[in-house]
Amino acid sequence: MALASSFASASDPSPLQDTCVAIDEPKNAVFVNGKFCKNPNLTVAEDFFYKGLNIPGNTSNRVGSDVTTVNVDVIPGLNTLGISLVRIDYAPYGQNPPHTHPRATEILTVLEGTLLVGFVTSNPQNRLISKVLNKGDVFVFPIGLIHFQFNIGHTNAVAIGGLSSQNPGVITIANAVFGSNPPINPDFLATAFQLDKKVVEFLQARF
């Protein structure tokens, strides 16, 4: 039963002490959840602080969005706390392309603008659960499911996302499939996606 319950955990392991500030220097430190921990008696306010989330991201790119990530690599004090967040900026008609977070559920709050958001359930249903969000609206993307956001407004949009992991990870579907290193065999992808091989090779060149 104990073994089964350990696999049912939906977030990072619970901490066994007040703080476990992540450090790179392992001397006199304890290794917990992928990071070395600073001596709790030496923790300071800066270990739990980040400045600059008010600064807009640069959305002048192919997809018209920018994600500012605040995870354990940015705030070492998040180590073992099972939480992180992102700021997402969207140009008009910009998008956060279909992606997954392998280690976290996400809860998104729109601060400015209008977003079309959604996620797709697992096989075999592959149901699209989608909604238009306005300022102040909140939406949840379940852990591991492919999801997206699209700015359908004429102005910039901004959202904040909370994630149930100190390091949720992100897998952007197109990048992973067509931009893998080394590339996946195009004959295989042509069959998997029911595309002409030349289309697959074109997409691989794009990514």
- pLDDT, tens digit, 9 for 90 and up, residues 93-151: 999 999 999 999 999 999 999 999 999 999 999 999 999 999 999 999 999 999 999 99
For the residues 176-199, what does the mean pLDDT come to? 97
For the residues 180-184, what does the mean pLDDT come to? 97
DSSP string covering the chain, please?
Answer: -HHHHHHT--SSPPPSSS---EES--TT-EEETTEEEPPGGG--GGGG----TTSPP---SSSSEEEEEESTTT-GGGTTT--EEEEEEE-TT-EEEEEE-TT--EEEEEEES-EEEEEEPPTTT--EEEEEE-TT-EEEE-TT--EEEEE-SSS-EEEEEEESSSS---EEHHHHHHS-SSPPPHHHHHHHTT--HHHHHHHHHH-
pLDDT-based confidence at 33, cuts 50/70/90? Answer: low
pTM for the model stands at 0.86
Would you say 154 is a known binding-site residue?
Answer: no
pLDDT at 194: 97
